[in-house]
Every structure is written in structure tokens, then in C-alpha cells.
Amino acid sequence: MSSERIAKEANLAFSTLKTLSNEERSNALQIIHDSLKEKKTNILKANELDLKNAESQNLSSSLIKRLDLSKSGKFDSMLQGIFDVANLPDPVGKVTLAKKLDEGLNLYRVTAPIGVLLIIFESRPEVIANITALAVKSGNSAILKGGKESFQTFKIMSEIVNQALAKTKVPPKAIQLIESREDVSDLLNQDKYIDLVIPRGSNELVRHIKSNTKIPVLGHADGICSIYVDSNYDLTKAKRIIIDSKTNYPAGCNAVEQLLINKNLPKEEIKEILQSLIDNKVTIHVTPELKLIDSEFVKDVVDDSFDKEYLSFDISVKLVNNIDEAISHINEHSSKHTECIITEDEAKANKFLKSIDSAGIYWNASTRFADGFRYGFGTEVGISTNKIHARGPMVISLENM
């Protein structure tokens, strides 16, 4: 099937999907949820094949972690995400503004679906369920292309989703899952039928897509997140936030990658912060003045240490003179994803919150909170670092924070 036909059929399906009631769309998600749950064993077996192939090809540990559906309750969280989306209020048809312009002349602003979404992703097979749920609930058609490393998982989940949709009022072509890599380049040219491209994957993937399409692209190329530890701070709180931000899921785009510490902190407290990272098997890449500990987990920074997304148990660390230097450093080196200040000084916190140019800015909170699911909005379509229009974790109505 040609890419033009795929896109055109998705567009035609959208014409019907957007007219379905919230009950009909939510019912379709319930059927998809039940179908995936019923076939869990089959899906995990297919996922195991993908993991073995990834390991035999010596793919990166961060990619393998993203690929694995069996660890940390990821499969069950995926199912819960579908269920949560199904039970959310209808995002379509909400009146967000009502204004009387003149006698008998009323203006209304009403939420509406975008149209056809092209989702291109790497390694994360749960994206199939996430995007399907988001698209159907919000009345959007979606074309999904997974990475070759998740082929076996993608294939069986695609079959299950397609079979489930056949039992619903959602048009079959509203959700299309393509396997051919060649289709992607052609689909990127279908700006007549496709309204938005959402890439989820590596820096290279996102940049390639942005450079090869006229269709609007929503996404972020890197997740270079930062934490600044201020001079007026709580040591215990700081260690907990830093460790969670780095070790909870280092392969996530919201994991912290660089740590800035105020140089006026007592030397022993700085050493204690660094040791807490080492105790959690995190390799710290430090500037010369921070080589305070003799350990195999301590390395020197290199030229690109503060412009790097590790996606692993690594973090770059340096001292800064004050909050102004921290803000300047972050705005220069950050990917504008998520940053955090650890301080007990409200005035400094407010200055940081106002001065940082990123999608998510936190005060005494782990960067791992930068997630639509954690915000309580249901499963997430992605995180945008764009400024026009949407920014931050993206959820079913495709509105920004």
C-alpha cells in the first residue's frame, strides 16, 4: 500500500472518528485494554525475542531498558494507562471560552481533534498502546511506525489492536501500524493528509524528521536535565532528590544529566552528595576541584560533558559561584526539557523558576516528575520543548502545561 493511500485512509477515518461519542471511543479503549491483557503472555514472549536480538547486536543498555516490557511493572502500567485514558472526561467539545459580541452574536471556543497524527518511535513498544489510547480518546487518527529493534513486540501488539478495533465503532483505518522503514520518508511528504508528526526516540531520529518534513513536528531532541543545589538547602532532601532524578530510570528523557553545586557549601557536605551518587553506582564526571573521592566511579569531565544526554548511570558535576551562574549555565547547556533548584530560600527559588527557559522547572522535586502520567493526566504522547504552541508533557487533549 502506498504512503499516500495510508495517509488518505487515515484522513477519511478521522472524518468518522471525530463524530463518535465519548462513550463509543472509551468503549473501544476498554476492548483494546482487555485484548492486550488477555494476550500478555504472547506479547512478553515476543518482547523477549526482541531483547535477545538487541543484546546479540550489542545495542546500548539504555535502548534495551526502554525496549523491555517485563521489568518494573511496565506492561501493567501500560494497561493502566489505557484504562485511565478511557475513564477521563471527554476532551472533545469542551467550551473554553464563551463571549457575547453583540445582540444575537455569540462567540465560542471549543476543543476539537487535530486530525491525523504520524508517530515515529524507537524501542518503546508500549508507545503502541499509549498512542492508540490517546488518539482514539481525543478523536484523532494515528499512523504508527516502530523501530526495528521492537519488531516482534510491535507485530503482535499491532495484530491485537487491529483485531480489537474491528469489534468497535472506531473506523479500522483510524489506527494504522506500519512496519516498512521506506514508508516513513514518503509519509513525511504527505502534508495534505497528515497534520502532526510526533517523533519519540533518539536525538538523531528527531533531528532527521524535523529536517525532512513540512508537517509540524512536536517533540524534543534531547533530555539534558539539570539540578542546581543552592547554598541554603537541606542536605537530606537534596540527596533524595538527586538520587531519584538519576537512578529511578536513567534511560528516561527526564533523568538528570548534570548537577551544579554552589561552591559555598561545606566541603564535607559536597563530598557527601558525591558519595551518595557513588553509593548508588553512578559514575560522576567532575571538574578538577571536585575530585574529592578516590573511586572507580569518579572521572574527569571532557569537552562535551555538559552537553551530553547520558541515559545511563552517569552524571556531570561542577561547582558554580551562585544562582546567577547556575541559571546562565543551564540556559546555555540545557535542552530546555526539565530543571530543578534545591533550596530553602523562596526568593531564590522564584528567581530560578522565572529565569530558566525550559518546559518544566521544579523547586525541590525530582526531574522524574516531568511526565504526563505522573501529573495525573493519563498516559502521555510525549514531551515537547517547543514554545509554539504546546510545551511540556503532552496528554490526550494535546494541550501543554
Q: Are strands 283-286 and 175-178 parallel, antiparallel or unpaired?
A: unpaired
Task: Return d(Cα 367, Cα 340) in angstroms, integer.
Answer: 7
> What pLDDT does 202 receive?
67
> What pLDDT does 396 receive?
47
> Grid coordinates in use for 12?
477519511
Residue 398 has pLDDT above 50, yes or no: no
The fold for domain 225-368 equals Aldehyde Dehydrogenase; Chain A, domain 2 (3.40.309)
pLDDT tens for 69-79 read 988 788 998 99
pTM of the entire structure? 0.74
Residue 387 has pLDDT above 90, yes or no: no
Q: Where in the chain is the domain with CATH 3.40.605.10?
A: 3-220
- pLDDT, average across residues 376-381: 63
Q: Where in the chain is the domain with CATH 3.40.309.10?
A: 225-368
Single out the residue of 163, 81, 92 nearest to residue 127, CA to CA: 81
> What pLDDT does 251 receive?
82
More confident residue, 50 or 391: 50
Weakest mean pLDDT among 213-217, 267-271, 315-319, 350-354: 213-217
- pLDDT, average across residues 180-209: 84
Residue 101 has pLDDT above 50, yes or no: yes
Please write down the long-range contacts of 205-211, taking CB distance under 8 Å and 24 or more positions apart. Answer: 205/120, 205/122, 209/120
- pLDDT, average across residues 291-306: 95
> What pLDDT does 374 receive?
74
> What pLDDT does 221 receive?
63
Residue 372 has pLDDT above 80, yes or no: no
Residue 106 has pLDDT above 60, yes or no: yes
Decide if domain 3-220 falls under CATH 3.40.605.10: yes
- pLDDT, average across residues 169-180: 88
> What pLDDT does 399 receive?
42
How many Cβ atoms are within 10 Å of 103's Cβ, its own excluded? 6
> Grid coordinates in use for 79?
494497561
Task: Return d(Cα 370, Cα 362) in angstroms, integer.
Answer: 9
pLDDT tens for 203-235 read 677 788 888 999 988 876 678 999 999 999 999
Task: Return d(Cα 205, Cα 170) in angstroms, integer.
Answer: 31
Triad 10, 11, 17: Cα angle to 5°: 80
Residue 340 C-beta-side C-alpha neighbours within 13 Å: 27
